[in-house]
Structure 1
Amino acid sequence: MSFLTSLRPTLSLSPATKTLTKTLLLTRPFSSTPPSHLARMTIVGRLADSPEIVATSSGQDVVRYALGTSHGPKDNRTTSWWKVACFAPEGGLRDMVLGLGKGSLVYVEGDASMNKFTAKDGTAQSALSIVQRNFEILDRRDPRAEGQVEGEGA
């Protein structure tokens, strides 16, 4: 009933304005941003190794790293590996990501897309690409202490 009451002032409007009002009320009232065709992923996992800087063919620096996530009971645990890229990292963010060591626990939000390509042997392949958007460190591991046993002083 309240929906009809809220439309009552529009009854005196022109047909074009009524259509626009109806469209605005029924489409994406929860967001002011345009719809996106990207899938968003959230991953909480541990770094497989220290992040590295790689230059693309156009010369742009990309920070790449892999995350491992585990699920299932301890006696039958399964690990999934996720490759993540961070384009145009600058200043503090770049140093923060590069300063993490293997085993650091991180929270990553990123845009995910499936890319199809032809491998060197001619077979059709596909790969999931994740481009980092948000990043938080949950448990930092020092990359210089990777060879040390936990509990030893540095």
Structure 2
Amino acid sequence: MSFVMRRGLGLTSTLSSSARAFSTTPARRVARITIVGHLGDTPELQATSTGHEVLKYVVASSSGPRDNRQTSWFRVSSFLPEGPQRELLRGLPKGTLVYVEGDATMGTYQDAEGKTKSSLNIMQRSIEVLKRPAQTESA
């Protein structure tokens, strides 16, 4: 960053050509997404084709007036290493209210009928538990 003296305005900074005028962080090729919603089911651990493990779960987020609520379902993946964070996430029950931040990318694939489909892929960056579902007497 360089500084320029403007007549009557004092010292003013100017950004270099590689910086973005609206942000001090570098540009990224990934979109960010924030989701607040309820877990659709208990997160599941699945093996990838390369032998790694990925934790997958679904978050339901609703919006709109009570008489016309719309629910969106988001599939989220997490490559948390073994340890307490992964075990905590695996143990969260269906209905837990969560706050998820992730990287969102669009992907395409061929369905069983050969049609090209697109999907939103979300890779978890962080997750916070906002509220656990109420315990029932039978639980």
State the TM-score bracket (shorter-chain normalisation): 0.7 to 0.9
**Unmatched 5+ residue regions in structure 1?**
8-20
> 1:92 aligned to 78, 84, 109, which one?
84
Which residue in 1 is equivalent to 2:71?
79
> 1:6 aligned to 11, 15, 18, which one?
11
TM-superposed deviation, 1:68 = 0.4
TM-superposed deviation, 1:26 = 7.8
Q: Specify which structure has the higher proportion of strand.
A: 2
1:39 to 2:31 alignment: yes
Superposed CA offset, 1:66-102 (max 9, x none): 0001111111111110000001433111011001000
TM-superposed deviation, 1:22 = 5.5
Q: Specify which structure has the higher proportion of helix.
A: 1
TM-superposed deviation, 1:35 = 1.4
Which residue in 1 is equivalent to 2:56?
64
The 1:59–1:3 alpha-carbon spacing in structure 2 relative to 1, beyond 3 Å, is farther
Kindly name which structure, 1 or 2, has the bigger radius of gyration based on alpha carbons: 1
Identity among equivalent positions (%) equals 44
Counterparts of 1:25 and 1:120, CA distance in 2: 48
Which residue in 2 is equivalent to 1:103?
95
Aligned positions, number: 132
Q: TM-score with structure 2 length normalisation?
A: 0.83
**Unmatched 5+ residue regions in structure 2?**
none
The one-letter code of the counterpart of 2:11 is S
The one-letter code of the counterpart of 1:54 is Q
Q: TM-score with structure 1 length normalisation?
A: 0.75
The one-letter code of the counterpart of 2:100 is V
CA contact (8 A) 1:49 1:103 kept: yes
CA contact (8 A) 2:98 2:128 kept: yes
Q: For structure 1, which segment, 42-51 or 89-98, has the greater mean C-alpha deviation from structure 2 after superposition?
A: 89-98
CA contact (8 A) 2:19 2:26 kept: no
- For the aligned residue pairs, the C-alpha RMSD in angstroms reads 2.5
